[in-house]
Chain A
Amino acid sequence: MDLLHNLGIGFGVAFTLTNLLYAFFGCMLGTLIGVLPGIGPVATIAMLLPSTYALDATPALIMLAGIYYGAQYGGSTTAILINVPGESSSVVTAIDGYQMARQGRAGAALASAGLGSFFAGCVGTIIIAAFAPPLTEIAFKFGPAEYFSLMVLGLIGAVVLASGSLMKAIAMIILGLLLAQINTDVISGTARYSFDIPQLTDGIGFVVIAMGVFGFGEIIANLGRPAEHREVFTKSVKGLWPTREDFRKAWPAVIRGTTLGSMLGVLPGGGALLSSFASYTLEKKLAGAGGNFGKGDIRGVAGPESANNAGAQTSFIPMLTLGIPPNAVMALMVGAMTIKGIQPGPQVMTSNPQLFWGLIASMWVGNLMLVILNLPLIGLWIKLLTVPYRFLFPAITLFCCIGVYSLNNSTFDVYLTAIFAFIGYLFYKLAVEPAPLLLGFILGPMMEENLRRALLLSRGDWTTFVTRPLSSALLIAALLLIVIVSLPAISKKREVAFSEVAD
């Protein structure tokens, strides 16, 4: 059994003291930022990247991964207790979860969210371990033309499944690709768009963009909104264990959510957010009208919470096997690997098996830690909810500043971040999603290299992308996605689906 052998290597790596420690630290931090509204996993991972310089690649990635799935657990806590989703993927949990809390059943809601997430996490880990190797096999058959087309599909997929205007999202991808052109051309050695500023010839750091747009952009946007009044249901968190009736109702929802999340996580653009939305819609359909749904149904908590965790886990598959990030967090993970001198792509599994399988196994370990962190220690996190934002945002500002500076010990990066903070706020005001920009930015250099290599091989013949069967299939899939989503009937449904949950 290859699978068992590989998982064996993985658990061997994950169970070393250092790695356990970093997994714990990542989960802890993930829960923390999940609980705290106003800071998401993208900004946090960007903030922490510089601090991982001294670490080996494996513990660094284990920790960063822990932040992502840890945030899914933490996010549900705030959603249930104060009706403020700590993470965007917990938006739907807030609907039924908060109602349950108001009925004094916060404990049952938290427990079903936690246990559902744990179950989904276990399944997600097995799925990654089972599906990563065959996918890697396929990826090895790819030439530059196929890789280019795959990236096109990945980027298009990433935006059609997200909310908001498709046209603007695609424009944002290209904007990201363009920003990545500020560098020194690898092939000719020409410095591009550097305005004779030496720091720009190495390109803009992705941390600078992530921190400016996601970290600071969000802070400014939050401060610009009137303060919210929060009502914390802290006293009602008693009787953590769900009743037998709860279990009977929740477990099919958990299984449905896990299945849905595992499938959607693999898709480009998938991940936690999409999975939880889809699961909520499904549960709502199954529950039918007239029931308790939307007014404190445990299925509305268990389903989406399992789904977002499963999605968060399986979204590692395209990142680990193809080197193609399906969402902004994975884009940062790709960046983190590059910093550590690992070229993301199908070769990671064979060249760094310790890292590859260790990371996967650590996710299971991390999920176990998270259940322990979140259920018995819930009181601790509730206390954190009472920390006012006026203490938090200066702290986030500070950590972002230190993080950016320590990246290259350069104040230039700090100034550049200030510019991107403004740009990030501008994006917020114009209602353009910044995530596609980051994806484009990370994939930019890889895409250009593959495009130019493919053209070089075909002697300038652009038809190479459509005459090679695999490449053409990928491009057709991308085109189909755009066409399907643009169909009036579908695009209306898409808007409804997203606005329904947003209300």
Chain B
Amino acid sequence: MKIKSERDFWSGMMFVAVGVIFAIGATNYSMGPACPPNDPCATSLWARMAQLSAHPGAGYFPLGLSVLVALLGAIVLFKSLTIESEGGDPIGAFAWRPLLIIIAGIAVFGLMLEPLGLLITIPVLIFMSSLAGDEFHWKGVLINAIVLTAASWAIFIWGLKLTIPVWPAFMR
């Protein structure tokens, strides 16, 4: 089997995987009422489904959606293996450097903000994220960090009065 559209193949895979995971999760939740003693469970599948549909439980909607998304994913997957696309529709190389740096930057911001406050966290974030670009000039980054720290303080703390920690925890 040859993949004829790489992008569609992996999107199809993604949809199927998400569908399966959410479907498994949905089985933990009630589909509908258990059969009450005076109203025995219907024996045929359709009748039982109607019984459940009358009082849909927490798992009812997510299960339906999971099945749908998995089905659509399967169709996309099937098409990617049968229908020719121009040049195989490759995904291309991942831009790992900006991807990892930006994500790490966000995580570091989350880690540092509450213990260390804005005034330390912002310059760190600016320095880190600037590394993700093609060019890195110390002077430019330094100016950017100073300007943005001052601007953030003026906008968010002084202007909008948001309750974000400004100083490190030991100085508060």
> Measuring CB to CB, which residues of chain A are less than 8 angstroms from any residue of chain B?
50-51, 54, 165, 167-168, 170-171, 174-175, 177-178, 181, 185, 187-188, 190, 192-193, 216, 219-221, 223-224, 227, 389-391, 393-395, 397-399, 401-402, 405-406, 409, 411, 414-415, 417-418, 421-422, 425-426, 429-432, 448, 451-452, 455-456, 459-462
Known A178-B69, A187-B58, A220-B98: A406·B129 in contact at CB below 8 Å: no
> Measuring CB to CB, which residues of chain B are less than 8 angstroms from any residue of chain A?
7-8, 10-11, 14-15, 18, 22, 25, 29-30, 49-62, 65-66, 68-69, 72-73, 75-76, 79, 89, 91-92, 94-95, 97-99, 102-103, 105-107, 109-111, 113-114, 118, 122, 125-126, 129-130, 132-136, 140-141, 144, 148, 152, 156, 160-164
Q: What are 6 sample pairs from A and B whose C-beta atoms fall under 8 A apart?
A: A178-B65, A393-B132, A393-B133, A429-B7, A430-B7, A452-B60
Bound-state CA distance A178–B67 (Å) is 11
Q: Is A455 within 8 A of B148, CB to CB?
A: no
Q: Is B99 within 8 A of A422, CB to CB?
A: yes
| B73 CB contacts on chain A under 8 angstroms | 171
Bound-state CA distance A208–B103 (Å) is 14
Known A224-B98, A411-B110, A430-B14: A395·B8 in contact at CB below 8 Å: no
Known A171-B73, A181-B65, A398-B126: A405·B113 in contact at CB below 8 Å: yes
Q: Is A168 within 8 A of B11, CB to CB?
A: yes
| A167 CB contacts on chain B under 8 angstroms | 72, 75-76, 79
| A390 CB contacts on chain B under 8 angstroms | 130, 133-136, 140
Of all chain B residues, which has the CB nearest A167?
B76
| B130 CB contacts on chain A under 8 angstroms | 390, 394
List 7 extra interface pairs beyond A190-B58, A216-B106, A399-B152, CB under 8 A.
A51-B160, A174-B65, A216-B103, A219-B98, A394-B148, A411-B114, A431-B11
Q: 8 tightest A-B contacts by CB?
A: A224-B95, A460-B54, A460-B53, A414-B110, A223-B98, A185-B58, A418-B106, A171-B72
Q: Is A411 within 8 A of B111, CB to CB?
A: yes
| B107 CB contacts on chain A under 8 angstroms | 414-415, 418
Bound-state CA distance A163–B34 (Å) is 45
Bound-state CA distance A452–B62 (Å) is 12
| A455 CB contacts on chain B under 8 angstroms | 53-54, 56
Q: Is B50 within 8 A of A460, CB to CB?
A: yes
| B25 CB contacts on chain A under 8 angstroms | 192-193
| A193 CB contacts on chain B under 8 angstroms | 22, 25, 62
Q: Is B61 within 8 A of A451, CB to CB?
A: yes
Known A224-B98, A390-B140: A51·B126 in contact at CB below 8 Å: no
| B61 CB contacts on chain A under 8 angstroms | 181, 448, 451-452
| B8 CB contacts on chain A under 8 angstroms | 165, 168
Q: Is B102 within 8 A of A216, CB to CB?
A: yes
Q: Is B22 within 8 A of A178, CB to CB?
A: yes
Q: Is B56 within 8 A of A451, CB to CB?
A: yes
Q: Which of B54, B132, B133 contacts A456 (CB 8 A)?
A: B54
Of all chain B residues, which has the CB nearest A389?
B133
Of all chain B residues, which has the CB nearest A419?
B103
| A462 CB contacts on chain B under 8 angstroms | 53
| B66 CB contacts on chain A under 8 angstroms | 178
Indicate the member of B60, B106, B163 with the most A CB atoms within 10 Å.
B106
Bound-state CA distance A68–B152 (Å) is 23
Q: Is A227 within 8 A of B106, CB to CB?
A: no
| A398 CB contacts on chain B under 8 angstroms | 122, 125-126, 129, 148, 152
Q: Is B99 within 8 A of A425, CB to CB?
A: yes
Q: Which of B54, B135, B140, B162 contacts A50 (CB 8 A)?
A: B162
Bound-state CA distance A448–B62 (Å) is 9
Indicate the member of B8, B51, B56, B148 with the most A CB atoms within 10 Å.
B56
Bound-state CA distance A120–B130 (Å) is 41
Give, as a whole number of angstroms, the nearest-CB distance from A393 to chain B: 7
Give, as a whole number of angstroms, the nearest-CB distance from B171 to chain A: 19
Q: Is B22 within 8 A of A406, CB to CB?
A: no
Bound-state CA distance A431–B59 (Å) is 31
Bound-state CA distance A461–B7 (Å) is 40
Q: Which of B49, B52, B129 contacts A394 (CB 8 A)?
A: B129
Indicate the member of B10, B54, B140 with the most A CB atoms within 10 Å.
B54
Q: Is B76 within 8 A of A430, CB to CB?
A: no
| A51 CB contacts on chain B under 8 angstroms | 156, 160, 162
| B52 CB contacts on chain A under 8 angstroms | 460
Indicate the member of A451, A456, A460 with the most B CB atoms within 10 Å.
A460
Of all chain B residues, which has the CB nearest A172?
B15
Bound-state CA distance A389–B97 (Å) is 17
Q: Is A395 within 8 A of B10, CB to CB?
A: no
| A421 CB contacts on chain B under 8 angstroms | 102-103, 106
Q: Is B113 within 8 A of A411, CB to CB?
A: yes
| A170 CB contacts on chain B under 8 angstroms | 72
Bound-state CA distance A422–B105 (Å) is 12
Of all chain A residues, which has the CB nearest B55?
A456
| A190 CB contacts on chain B under 8 angstroms | 29-30, 58
Q: Is A165 within 8 A of B76, CB to CB?
A: yes
Bound-state CA distance A190–B29 (Å) is 8
Q: Is A405 within 8 A of B164, CB to CB?
A: yes
Q: Is B133 within 8 A of A461, CB to CB?
A: no
Bound-state CA distance A391–B141 (Å) is 8
Give, as a whole number of angstroms, the nearest-CB distance from A63 to chain B: 12
Bound-state CA distance A221–B92 (Å) is 12
Bound-state CA distance A370–B92 (Å) is 41
Bound-state CA distance A17–B128 (Å) is 41
Indicate the member of A171, A418, A426 with the most B CB atoms within 10 Å.
A171
